[in-house]
Amino acid sequence: MEEKIKRIESFILDKMKSSRLPALSLGIMQNGKVIYQRGFGRRNLEVGQPATPATLYGIGSITKSFTCLALLQLQEEGRLSLSDPASDYLDFNLKPAGRTVEIQHLMSHTSGIPALAYAEAAILNSVGEEVEDVPVGDVEDMLTFIRESQDQDWLETEPGKRWFYLNEGYVLLGGIIARVSGISYQEYLKENIFTPLEMNRTFFSRENVEADKDAACPYLVAEDERIPQSYLYGSITSDGGIISNVEDMLKYLKLYLKKEDNEIITPGSLTEMMKPRINTPSLQLYQENNNQKGVKADYSLNNHSSYYGLGLSIEEDFFGYRKIGHGGSVLVATAQLNFIPEEELGLVLLANGSGYPLSQLSSYILALLLEEDPDRLDFRQSETRLEKLTGTYQAYQGNYSLEISRRGDLLKLKNLSSSLGDEEILIPDRLAEDRIELFALQGGKRLPVEFYFRKGETVLLYGRYKLKKVSELVD
């Protein structure tokens, strides 16, 4: 275990450095016990305060799982049913394809209404990127805002047929919780989830966060600077407004990992949350072949790898296990909660900015803890195999030069003599240890682009040219 932890810690620090992420906190739980927790980096750059497991961060859309938990509590009490029309509780009369939107459709993002980007507008405006504002102050405003989408022909499919991630729908769910319970959404969660689970430093309000002695400063992480920001207190609530810490979130995680009864929800309701209800657009790309020495990119549209339940995402085959959880981002803070039910293993990652994706950090950590090779993960295939191709390449006697750089899961080819061409995107096709095949699109046709390794050299075959790598890229 000690070697795994060292590897995890090195990976985290490396990715924080490369993405300029100021601070991150991690907690790991197995078999009902906290087996690791630590803070990395600085929660406040101005005064150099270190991050700890108790540091407060915005958890973003992990809040959605709390919202669904609250609705299932109300269902267990007989105060509502998830199959009830949303219009039974709110002035919500939208009928995509003429069908009724039920509470469970909003919970599973299957209402038939595509994202309307109210939260994106609020977040972008808060960091100084001016976009058209959506003046949503409460649930009534949201109802008016959504109602206009039907008038503008914005509804797409009948409920239950397709996954459209809809923050606006979760604002409505918060309104339903308030209507049925007779108290605010925030008060309901505090009384019925936070307090029973002893999540005593989990908040919604500015007053609580600013009075806390271990709160991370949220940052907008730009290319050349990290700019202090503030959370959108009150503007984002039941879809992403919770501010918490690793210590409290591990108590919440334990709820999903324990196999015995607990005082706030039945195991049956938790099972309902974790049941796949709709496939998400995410598709498995890389397929292993040649005894795992290479992978082939599969661009077919029928290899679904992930699903959505009620406030939780489900990956059905993570090294043969089910991986469940949710991510969160309010741009100036990011979060990830994931767990493997069969192994009673889970983790929480919280950070005060957008940097290296926490979903990828989470998968890397869980793979190591499951005794699996994290380099077999899709994102690692791109990182490890494509990154080594980047650099400057020259043809015979240096009279023709190209630059290869990585852009996420793709490569970019740039002609260093602009008169001979511009830039092209290279799309992975097959990644093997000794040869990597990609392709470019030219005039509607597919042009193979090949890299291979021989005698310590990296060779590029591009159209009519053969080039060799002569230098690495300089950041």
Give the CA angle between residues 25, 29, 32 to the nearest 5°. Answer: 145
Distance of alpha carbon 273 from alpha carbon 264, whole angstroms: 14
Are 85 and 101 within 8 A, CB to CB?
A: yes
State residue 318's pLDDT score: 94
Q: Distance between alpha carbon 10 and the CA centroid of its chain, in Å?
A: 22
Asked which of 6-10, 15-19, 65-69, 432-436 is least confident by mean pLDDT, the reply is 432-436
The verdict on 196 and 124 lying in the same domain is yes
The encoded tokens of residue 455 equal: 């005698």
pLDDT surpassing 60 at residue 292: no
- Rounded to the nearest integer, the mean pLDDT of the chain is 92
Q: Let me know whether 203 and 149 are in one domain.
A: yes
Largest alpha-carbon pair distance within the chain? 79
Give yes or no: residues 376 and 397 share one domain.
Answer: no
Contact criterion met (CB below 8 Å) for 348 and 202: no
pLDDT in tens, 316-347: 999 999 999 999 999 999 999 999 999 999 99
Q: Which domain holds residue 228?
A: 2-380
Least confident of 52-61, 172-181, 223-232: 223-232
- Give start and end residues of each alpha helix (H) in 48-166: 63-76, 103-107, 118-126, 139-151
As a whole number, mean pLDDT of residues 108-125 equals 91
475 has a pLDDT exceeding 90: no
Query: Do 314 and 451 belong together in one domain?
Result: no
Out of 350, 380, 410, pick the residue that ends a domain. Answer: 380
Residues 360 and 398 in one domain: no
Can you tell me which residue has the tokens 């924080």?
16
Average pLDDT score over residue span 282-290: 68
Domain boundary among 356, 380, 404: 380
Among 332, 364, 380, the domain-final residue is 380
pLDDT score of 290 more than 60: no
Same domain, 89 and 111: yes
pLDDT at site 303: 66
- Asked whether residue 225 falls in the same domain as residue 144, the answer is yes
What band does 122 get if pLDDT is binned at 50, 70 and 90? confident
Count how many domains the chain has.
Answer: 2
Antiparallel, parallel or unpaired: β 219-221 and 226-228: antiparallel
Pick the more confident residue, 168 or 432.
168
pLDDT in tens, 416-455: 876 666 789 999 998 888 899 999 998 889 999 999 999 9
User: 256 and 225, same structural domain?
Assistant: yes
Residues 348 and 428 both lie in one domain: no
Model confidence at 298: pLDDT above 80: no
Give yes or no: residues 398 and 361 share one domain.
no
Interval 11-34 mean pLDDT: 96
Q: What is the pLDDT of residue 132?
A: 79
Q: Is the pLDDT of residue 183 over 90?
A: yes
pLDDT band at 4 (very low <50, low <70, confident <90, very high): very high
Q: Domain with 369 in it: what CATH number?
A: 3.40.710.10
Distance CA 130, CA 459 (A): 46
| Residue 122, both tokens | 């609020």
Q: Of the ranges 59-63, 112-116, 249-253, which one carries the lowest mean pLDDT score?
A: 112-116
| Same domain (yes/no): 220, 367 | yes
What pLDDT, in 10s, does the model give residues 382-412? Answer: 888 899 999 999 999 988 999 999 998 899 9
Give me the pLDDT at residue 321, please.
96
Q: Are residues 136 and 173 in the same domain?
A: yes
pLDDT 10s digits, 143-167: 999 988 877 788 999 999 999 999 9
Amino acid letter, 445: K
* d(C-alpha 216, C-alpha 48), whole Å: 11
pLDDT, residue 293, reads: 67
Q: Residue 112's pLDDT band (boundaries 50, 70, 90)?
A: very high
- Kindly tell me if the per-residue pLDDT of 91 is higher than 90: yes
Per-residue pLDDT averaged across 361-375, rounded? Answer: 96
Point out the least confidently predicted range of 21-25, 83-87, 413-417: 413-417
Give the C-alpha separation, 457 to 454, whole Å.
5
Provide the CB-side half-sphere exposure for 284 (13 A, CA): 17
* CATH number for position 443: 2.40.128.210
CA 443 – CA 140 distance, rounded (Å): 51
CA angle 456, 461, 463 (to 5 degrees): 170
Mean pLDDT of 77-91: 97
